[in-house]
Structure 1
Amino acid sequence: MRLSSGTSPVVTLRPLARSDVHAWRSARQRNAAWLLPWDATVPPGSTTRATTFRALVRRLRHQAGRGTTYPFAVDVDGRFAGQLTVNNIVRGSAQFASIGYWLDRDVAGRGVMPRAVGMAIDHCFTTAGLHRIEIAIRPENSNSLRVVEKLGIREVGYAPQFLHIDGAWRDHRIYAVTVEECPGGMVARLEAGE
């Protein structure tokens, strides 16, 4: 599946692939210091080890096959620029998922991530049949807070010590949107606000 915007820059969501290995590593290395405060880390005492990109893709594809994760590469003007993952997909009476993402600093501030998140939400609500999407953001992460602000996604709660990030358990603000809140689609809502 490919989802693409027709605006400049052209933002495309596509399945994360093994062939992204070099671009992914290069982006992660170039952006290591910029991403460090926001990257999940392994808590002390955990038996989970850091993983290679190939192992990451294999795990995400396995989860996608089970319907619990949708791992996307974010391309900007045809070039790999980041990753967006729809995860923790719950079916049954919940029809819920959460979204996490990271972006190459070189393309930040150009409206890329709001558009990518909007396209992912539209996919989740239409094609995947989900009802609610959540995004958890550290209170200090002004760039991600701007993403939900541009999309008009409302804050629904606060989660103390929610995720282990940058070596400690970190608080997060929780944002959520339901399909009823954007009947015309999230991308259309974003474009109407621009």
Structure 2
Amino acid sequence: MGSRVFIRTPDEDDWSVLLDLHQRSADFHAPWVSLAQDERGCKRYIQRCQAGTVEGLLICHGVDQALVGVVNLSQIFYGGFQSAYLGYYVSVAYAGQGLMTEGVTLAINHAFTTLKLHRLEANIQPGNADSLKLVARLGFTREGFSRQYLRVNGEWRDHERWAMTVESWSP
């Protein structure tokens, strides 16, 4: 548990709080990410988390358990690779309060200690200054630039590639 937040996996009943966060924060997140805007999409996300397709973690406020944000560890590979992609987003209501720094820190610790991963990679659009500051603050290293890396909101977008290994992690 962080000083102000904790993380947990989503359960079936969380679809409505996810939907509320997604709808209230849609404009805030455009064009960085496209979040499910209906019940079906939120329930599909939770099903993927429960099936192990993605390690989804909800960042919750320590006082009232309100949903602060979401962290996803996806494309998890084991064996010689032991790596995953890190993605995250915050509720507009909690942006700029440092709660995501705490929550993503907990998720990174979970990835390295519980999941026993060796490397995390975060791909971030160059104009997403807040997200770039977050990974830099957490100790990620910029490794490169990927042109037209990911399709977001119907357009292929460039991304900066940032990564961290367990050896460089200090929670």
Same fold at TM > 0.5: yes
Instruction: Write the distance in 1 (CA, Å) between the matches of 2:112 and 2:144.
Output: 22
- Counterpart of 1:27, as a letter, is L
Counterpart-to-counterpart distance in 2, 1:19 and 1:57? 9
- Structure number with greater Rg is 1
Q: Who is 1:89 aligned against?
A: 76
Q: CA deviation at 1:24?
A: 1.2
Give the unaligned 5+ runs of structure 1: 42-49, 188-194
**What do residues 62-118 of structure 1 show as CA deviations (whole Å, max 9, x unaligned)?**
1x1xxx521111112311122111111011100011111111011111111122121
1:141 matched to 2:128? The reply is yes
Q: CA deviation at 1:17?
A: 1.7
- Equivalent in 30, 34, 38 of residue 36 of structure 1: 30
- Partner SS state of residue 119, structure 1: helix
Aligned partners of 2:34 and 2:145: how far apart in 1? 18
Residue 67 of structure 2 is matched in structure 1 by 80
Cα deviations by residue, 1:1-36 (Å, 9 ceiling, x for unpaired): xxx20x2xx111100122112211111111111112
User: Which digits, 9 at most, give the CA deviation of each residue in 1:112-161, with x for residues without a partner?
Assistant: 11221211111111111110001110000011011112112110111111
Equivalence for 1:56: 45
Helix, strand or coil: the match of 1:37?
Answer: coil
Of all paired residues, the percent bearing the same amino acid is 31
**RMSD across aligned C-alpha pairs, in angstroms?**
1.7
Paired with 2:142 and 2:40, the residues of 1 have a C-alpha distance of 32
TM-score, normalising length from structure 1? 0.80
Of the three residues 115, 118, 121, the one matched with 2:102 is 115
Gaps of 5+ in 2: none
Match of 2:19 in 1: 25
User: How many residues align structurally?
Assistant: 166
Q: Which residue of 1 aligns with 2:160?
A: 173
Q: CA offsets per residue over residues 14-61 of structure 1, 9 Å max, x none?
A: 0012211221111111111111211148xxxxxxxx952112211221
Residue equivalent to 1:69: 54
Asked if structure 1 preserves the Cα contact closer than 8 Å seen for 2:85 and 2:121, the reply is: yes
1:174 and 1:40 map into 2 onto residues whose CA distance is 19
Query: With structure 2 as the length reference, what TM-score do the two structures score?
Result: 0.90
Question: Matched residue of 2:109: which SS?
Answer: helix
Provide the rounded CA distance (Å) in 1 between the counterparts of 2:129 and 2:151: 19
After superposing on structure 2, the runs of 4+ consecutive aligned residues of structure 1 that deviate more than 3 Å are none
Alignment equivalent of 1:152, drawn from 129, 139, 160: 139
Query: 2:7 touches 2:60 (CA, 8 Å); kept in 1?
Result: yes
Q: d(CA) in 2 for partners of 1:24 and 1:84?
A: 12
Residues 56, 71 of structure 2: 8 Å contact kept: yes
* Mapped contact 1:40–1:164 kept (Cα < 8 A): no
